[in-house]
Structure 1
């Protein structure tokens, strides 16, 4: 057989991760607020994209699927286009040029959902804001201005130091304050500080004593006992008995009250009064000046009961809207004569069309997944966490005929708001616990709820051990091992039977 170069034609199939495919996959995992940030960047890059003005006549970004829960047969029917995000990706519609024209003035969009009511309320306020009622600006009250009005802890302490100290003492105070952590404790070595500033150790200790008189009370302490002692001195409760109590906090933590009474030289009534006094002190006084604010969790979905089932709606108040400006495209196309300009304009149009289609399909996919979750966990929405069923990503993916990875991306960083509270979509996916009587398996969250209820109702004189909890859970139909009970209890932040007995003993003595 002769060896030589030749040309062959072969036909094969392969999955290619195009930029449009990667973008569609990335969009699925983003929340509404993250989508808003993403679209802001796309608006800057693509001149053919535009965001409709808030409160204008432009409706939602796309016609989201309507759905209805049929209470008669227990099915949740979603009327949407065939296929989900997987189908969109498989079809390779990134370069399509067909517009998604929607009549935004039609009756299709009815302001009857939670998100629409928020937008309608904002439009009804108009430019008046809340000036007539509360004297706020046209944008309404700035609630962030109410948080942390005095700045951080260090700024608060430096302001007090500037009012009481001067010269080298102020320099020493600035050095010490800079080494106070967020909880208000001093982490500096006084001897090292004196060496660095080339001052006497007595001067550093004297300035520290001044700092420990600053607000908040207890700041500048080097240990918990010193922090509580500063607060006790300010409350005029620091006597020899209280001093001995603060020097033996480890014994108090163990609950050895008889031994502690002998050390302090007090009777049972005085000991209870001293413990009650300690409960009123702040062990971390600096945290009240923490500049970190908890991030607000905004729901991506609303679930509300209806007479014939459930209503599931995307939160349009946080959902960004984007349109393709075709009139501007026509205007630019008329002035583009060279091939490079025409190619760039064609790429912008294809990218804009793909983004609008991908965002539209994203909402439909989220609605489809959320509808299946509500269908599977209907008893939870009606009766509570005790009726939460075991659910996996594969079960939802098989039911809606999507890939498991797609469901995982859809449920990431998404929150659902219902009458029972705000829940992450991942919350509804829990492992199963086998029933003791061989019946249907139950959710791990339902078991945690039962454990918490049993411990909350336990008699302070008869604390339930993990073995006792296992027996009580089996009586309720939960076949669960002792180590699993201990794991669930620790995950909920509930102490062991010994710790709970000690805490309730201290609480009863201090009451």
Structure 2
């Protein structure tokens, strides 16, 4: 029998309000995106205004911490205003107090509240949360040139140090795909030899699209000709005298190249078939100047000083006098509700920005503590690090750390890096007491296979696992196979056939 009836059920669930969604989303906005969002809120909310420092060019001191090996993180709040709240580790209540929409739930219900902006779509990512972890909607845009190169660098079999060099070089690539910058300066910044930087760049020249990361037009064209097996002394001479080609001095070109008119015509046709701007085929927004969110400098007492960049911190105030005037003039319940809403919204935003700054500082300080050796001695000492290690150390969730490190940059004595630069994969050791960089393990696998011909013994994936286990590296066979394929190394059966074929 089909009928209707009323039932009472008790259960637990997590309701993420639009305000709480925005509190989480504020973490992953870059400083430029955040400034745009704050400006839009100021235009929408009459109670908000920027806190301009008095005295014209008065300096604003940002929160800072001193990072040493044995010290706790101690915050300094000079010049930032009222910042006495501690960092709340609970992800379900990101910023402590109830959101403004929750305070008046009994009065407003679940409908859209007057005066509240749509916080669920702020920033580039936009959209609401679609999974249980509060993650954003999938990004279906095409990868940018830099993302494309970074993905190839991750699977190129670099050691941890070489991978850091590769990422630094990729950051120096312009929209056309050319490498702009001095390699000697890169070597000095990262504390390594110029030979190492050039060796990494040589590997990067094998990335797609062909000709990428060249330092000049002739080098870009040369890389493409080498791939087509069309680079010879005559073509080399042509590339070294492109100025004659620009002037249409065909007689001079025939002389320097040592070819006749017909061959020169064919060579010029081959050049026209090449791509002088290999990076132009990728989309993405124009490159913008990177403004660091965090500054790191040596502490005279030892360790490092970590402080937020005051220039990137939006400073907002709630105009309480104007609020009192408007509240006193409100007559109807709708007007009173509107005034209460914009006041709660303004207070919530100010608090959210304050907590965002503290969270960035706390995460950045822990990363600096973990990568102290890199800052002191160079890229060779970049240690394996993942989100979980940082999250456990500061009592936050991995997803929170991931959002904080997105689109955030840190200025160090070795240059400006994205916070995600300091995270490198790690593989557990057999004793469980230490870890090995995944890049270093890939390098070891490649080295083993490179010595097969000399030793006369083709190693199967299972045998490689045994050798790595003997060396104290706990790794699965499928992981070895994945690394081998990423290195573009054939299977043991194929390598054995190749060896027999001479």
TM-score for the superposition, normalised by structure 2: 0.51
The answer for the alignment partner of 1:202 in structure 2 is none
Is 1:466–1:482's contact at 8 Å kept on the other side of the alignment?
no
Is 1:303–1:416's contact at 8 Å kept on the other side of the alignment?
yes
Instruction: Within 5 Å, give how 1:153-302 maps onto structure 2.
Output: 230-231=245-246, 233-234=248-249, 236-239=252-255, 241=259, 244=263, 247=266, 284=276, 294-302=287-295
Deviation string for 1:339-367 (max 9, x for gaps)? 11111111000000000011111111111
Instruction: Within 5 Å, give how 1:300-379 maps onto structure 2.
Output: 300-306=293-299, 307-379=301-373
Is 2:245–2:253's contact at 8 Å kept on the other side of the alignment?
no
1:443 Cα deviation from its structure 2 partner: 2.9
The answer for the alignment partner of 2:36 in structure 1 is 37
The answer for the alignment partner of 1:467 in structure 2 is 450
Are the structure 2 counterparts of residues 375 and 48 from structure 1 closer, same or farther at C-alpha, using a change threshold of 3 Å? same
Is 2:63–2:307's contact at 8 Å kept on the other side of the alignment?
no
1:4 Cα deviation from its structure 2 partner: 8.5
Are the structure 2 counterparts of residues 441 and 248 from structure 1 closer, same or farther at C-alpha, using a change threshold of 3 Å? farther
1:322 Cα deviation from its structure 2 partner: 1.2
Alpha-carbon distance in 2 for matches of 1:482, 1:57: 62
Task: Tell whether 2:9 aligns with 1:17.
Answer: no
Are the structure 2 counterparts of residues 293 and 21 from structure 1 closer, same or farther at C-alpha, using a change threshold of 3 Å? closer
Are the structure 2 counterparts of residues 66 and 434 from structure 1 closer, same or farther at C-alpha, using a change threshold of 3 Å? closer
Task: Tell whether 2:406 aligns with 1:412.
Answer: yes
1:465 Cα deviation from its structure 2 partner: 11
> What count of residue pairs does the alignment treat as equivalent?
319
Deviation string for 1:380-412 (max 9, x for gaps)? 111112111111111111111111111111111
Is 1:388–1:446's contact at 8 Å kept on the other side of the alignment?
no
Task: Tell whether 2:61 aligns with 1:67.
Answer: no
The answer for the alignment partner of 1:461 in structure 2 is none
Alpha-carbon distance in 1 for matches of 2:74, 2:441: 31
1:67 Cα deviation from its structure 2 partner: 2.5
1:247 Cα deviation from its structure 2 partner: 2.7
Is 1:470–1:485's contact at 8 Å kept on the other side of the alignment?
no
The gaps in structure 1 that reach 5 residues or longer are: 99-217, 219-223, 253-277, 452-463, 491-511
Is 1:49–1:323's contact at 8 Å kept on the other side of the alignment?
yes
Alpha-carbon distance in 2 for matches of 1:326, 1:340: 20
Are the structure 2 counterparts of residues 347 and 48 from structure 1 closer, same or farther at C-alpha, using a change threshold of 3 Å? same
1:237 Cα deviation from its structure 2 partner: 2.2
Is 2:88–2:96's contact at 8 Å kept on the other side of the alignment?
no
Alpha-carbon distance in 1 for matches of 2:265, 2:481: 38
Alpha-carbon distance in 2 for matches of 1:356, 1:444: 42
Larger Rg: 1
Is 2:64–2:361's contact at 8 Å kept on the other side of the alignment?
no
Alpha-carbon distance in 2 for matches of 1:416, 1:385: 16
Q: Give SS of 1:237's match.
A: helix
Is 1:390–1:429's contact at 8 Å kept on the other side of the alignment?
yes
The gaps in structure 2 that reach 5 residues or longer are: 77-84, 104-220, 222-229, 455-466, 490-502
The answer for the alignment partner of 1:160 in structure 2 is none
Alpha-carbon distance in 1 for matches of 2:432, 2:67: 31
Are the structure 2 counterparts of residues 336 and 69 from structure 1 closer, same or farther at C-alpha, using a change threshold of 3 Å? same
The answer for the alignment partner of 2:112 in structure 1 is none
Is 1:84–1:361's contact at 8 Å kept on the other side of the alignment?
no
Instruction: Within 5 Å, give how 1:130-169 maps onto structure 2.
Output: none
Are the structure 2 counterparts of residues 53 and 483 from structure 1 closer, same or farther at C-alpha, using a change threshold of 3 Å? same
Q: Give SS of 2:91's match.
A: helix
Alpha-carbon distance in 1 for matches of 2:298, 2:55: 30
Q: Give SS of 1:313's match.
A: strand
Q: Give SS of 1:233's match.
A: coil
Alpha-carbon distance in 1 for matches of 2:453, 2:384: 20
Q: Give SS of 1:89's match.
A: coil
The answer for the alignment partner of 1:53 in structure 2 is 52
Alpha-carbon distance in 2 for matches of 1:315, 1:38: 18
Are the structure 2 counterparts of residues 96 and 328 from structure 1 closer, same or farther at C-alpha, using a change threshold of 3 Å? farther
TM-score for the superposition, normalised by structure 1: 0.51
Alpha-carbon distance in 1 for matches of 2:297, 2:337: 48
Are the structure 2 counterparts of residues 19 and 59 from structure 1 closer, same or farther at C-alpha, using a change threshold of 3 Å? farther
Q: Give SS of 2:311's match.
A: coil
Is 1:391–1:430's contact at 8 Å kept on the other side of the alignment?
yes
Deviation string for 1:442-495 (max 9, x for gaps)? 4346789x99xxxxxxxxxxxx99716999xx9xx99797984894799xxxxx
The answer for the alignment partner of 1:81 in structure 2 is 86
The root-mean-square deviation of aligned C-alpha atoms, in Å, is: 5.1
Task: Tell whether 2:91 aligns with 1:93.
Answer: no
Are the structure 2 counterparts of residues 238 and 55 from structure 1 closer, same or farther at C-alpha, using a change threshold of 3 Å? farther
Deviation string for 1:107-164 (max 9, x for gaps)? xxxxxxxxxxxxxxxxxxxxxxxxxxxxxxxxxxxxxxxxxxxxxxxxxxxxxxxxxx
Are the structure 2 counterparts of residues 287 and 13 from structure 1 closer, same or farther at C-alpha, using a change threshold of 3 Å? closer
